[in-house]
Amino acid sequence: MNAAWLPLSTLATSLFVTVVILALPEEARKLRTYINLLAAVIKLVLVILMIRRVAAGHEDVFSFQVVGGVDFVLRADALGVMFAGLSSLLWLCTTIYAIGYLEDSVNRKRFFGFFSLCVASTLGIALADNLFTFLIFYEMLTLSTYPLVVHSGTAKALNAGKIYLRYTLTGGVVLLLGTVLLYSLTGEHSFSSEEGLGNYLNDHRGLLILIFALLVGGLAVKAAMVPLHGWLPRAMVAPAPVSALLHAVAVVKAGAFGILRVIYDLYGIELSVELGVTTVLAVAASITIIYGSLRALAQVELKPRLAFSTVSQVSYVILGVCLFGPFGTIGALAHLLHQGLMKVTLFFCAGNYAEELGIHRIDEMDGAGQRMPLTSLAFTIGAMGMIGLPPVAGFITKWYLGIGAIQADMYWVVAVLVASSTLNAMYFLPIVHRLWFRPGPSHGKGSWPSEQHLGRLETHGWLLWPMVFTAMASLGAGLLAGLPFSPLDWATRVAIGEYLP
């Protein structure tokens, strides 16, 4: 039984709320908030429904013909709903957070409108069943994030927007070229099709490699792989909820997710290994991991450090894919979710420090643990996860990646993992140390850059609770990894059900 309405209405929820928000007047703050939250909850419910349907073995498809030989297809498959679940859960959290964060600021209508459009695009990316549909939402994501990046309208923000577009639109054009070449070679190729492109191997080996390079090259821009990562640290000028959404879910994950789709669902992992492209990609991912960590170490401000940490962390997903084995695959898929939860927590914390105490630089964070205990606790959990310490979710990922590397006899990957974890510790632990163990303004030494008392608790409730929730989720994903429907469990299901030979 095919419930075509399900993927369609899930997508339509965010699209519809975009239209409603843009149509409402700027002053209708309460109504906008209600509608936005209601839509986020409805969408989450719909995605949960979809996950249950997938767990029961149904794959709902919605499709129509665009032109001859090209269709628009949405399909709720296991990998798709995994990403859709992450994005809709974090949409709800980030929306709550953004309502608190943007209180009394201007242009909120534009912000929330494009925010919803951004999430709609992410959902479309998750559910797209062929490269054409994927491309539609991939470009929609580029366009809908631009107004968010330049939201503050300062010269710095406008420049960041310009650079963001230069990178992503060029990447989009490269991706378009690869897609057109592929369609010309093979015709439409559904992601759900069992056979890869192995039939074309004998006659078109060079062309297949070229197309792979174009597709992955275009996607790597959004996934912020070195040397195509230049837009990401600059985009940090955007408001904290945007950074949280861009970095944890939408843009970078869209790139990484696209690479997953290309390798697993389009080419097939055997063909990718046969072509030798996975080795090249593994090396590129390793370079990105190390380079991102080194650059993070050199940052003196909090948000850029988190940004470079993202550059590094997203490539774990790609590295895991390239290991070509059950554990690498599971590690990669689980990390897609884990990194999302942990990074969103860290950005929420950074936003809270900036809002409540005016902290932007790392050396201003001394003793903040006493003033903002919950925020600092959440930050500590996130940081531990990023380093890969148990019991936070990040540990699971690194463990699986490590086993995967050993099984694949790629010992140098283990070395990369160890080096990267050490670097992670080197740039996160000093912050944690500052938070808890260094005397600061709350011990009567100096003063906060610009302190406000936003709420009865350590900060505004709208800012606090989403952060607490995501921190708990990061912890829970690690502690309860063995339970059904945990990120690890779902990643295992995807890996076993679809990819393992």
| Interface positions with other proteins (CB under 8 A) | 22, 64-68, 70, 72, 106-107, 109-110, 132, 135-136, 139-140, 142-143, 146-147, 150, 152-155, 158, 161-162, 165, 169-170, 172-173, 176-177, 180-181, 183-184
The answer to whether residues 76 and 7 touch, using CB atoms and an 8 Å cutoff, is yes
| Nearest alpha carbon to residue 48 among 97, 91, 90, 10 | 10
Q: CA-to-CA distance for 427 and 115, rounded, in angstroms?
A: 31
Smallest gap from Cβ 250 to other proteins, in A, equals 17
Note the Cα 268 to chain centre separation in Å.
Answer: 23
Nearer to other proteins, 83 or 132 (CB): 132
Smallest gap from Cβ 336 to other proteins, in A, equals 24
Q: Which residues pair with 65 in a beta bridge?
A: 71
| Nearest alpha carbon to residue 471 among 361, 342, 351, 367 | 342
Q: Rounded to whole angstroms, what are the CA distances from 53 to 2, 29, 94, 182, 490?
A: 10, 36, 26, 32, 13
Q: What's the number of CA atoms in the CB half-sphere (13 Å) around residue 418?
A: 8
Nearer to other proteins, 24 or 49 (CB): 24
Nearer to other proteins, 132 or 395 (CB): 132
Q: Rounded to whole angstroms, what are the CA distances from 453 to 61, 243, 358, 443, 462?
A: 50, 23, 11, 17, 14
Q: Is 155 exposed, middle or buried (0-12, 13-18, 19+ CB in 10 A)?
A: exposed
Nearer to other proteins, 218 or 328 (CB): 218
Nearer to other proteins, 180 or 480 (CB): 180
| Polymer length of the chain | 501
Q: Which residues contact 206 (CB under 8 A, 6 or more apart)?
A: none
Smallest gap from Cβ 158 to other proteins, in A, equals 5
Q: CA-to-CA distance for 245 and 344, rounded, in angstroms?
A: 7
The answer to whether residues 233 and 163 touch, using CB atoms and an 8 Å cutoff, is no
Smallest gap from Cβ 67 to other proteins, in A, equals 5
Q: Are strands 61-67 and 70-75 parallel, antiparallel or unpaired?
A: antiparallel
Nearer to other proteins, 159 or 199 (CB): 159
Q: CA-to-CA distance for 429 and 386, rounded, in angstroms?
A: 11
Residue type, 444: G
Q: CA-to-CA distance for 390 and 82, rounded, in angstroms?
A: 23
Q: CA-to-CA distance for 187 and 288, rounded, in angstroms?
A: 34
Smallest gap from Cβ 440 to other proteins, in A, equals 34
Smallest gap from Cβ 419 to other proteins, in A, equals 38
Nearer to other proteins, 140 or 471 (CB): 140
Max alpha carbon distance in the chain (Å)?
Answer: 74
Smallest gap from Cβ 354 to other proteins, in A, equals 19
Nearer to other proteins, 5 or 437 (CB): 5
Q: Which residues pair with 128 in a beta bridge?
A: 74
Nearer to other proteins, 125 or 374 (CB): 125
Smallest gap from Cβ 164 to other proteins, in A, equals 10
Smallest gap from Cβ 108 to other proteins, in A, equals 11
Residue indicated by tokens 């190729």: 189
Nearer to other proteins, 124 or 402 (CB): 124
Smallest gap from Cβ 143 to other proteins, in A, equals 7
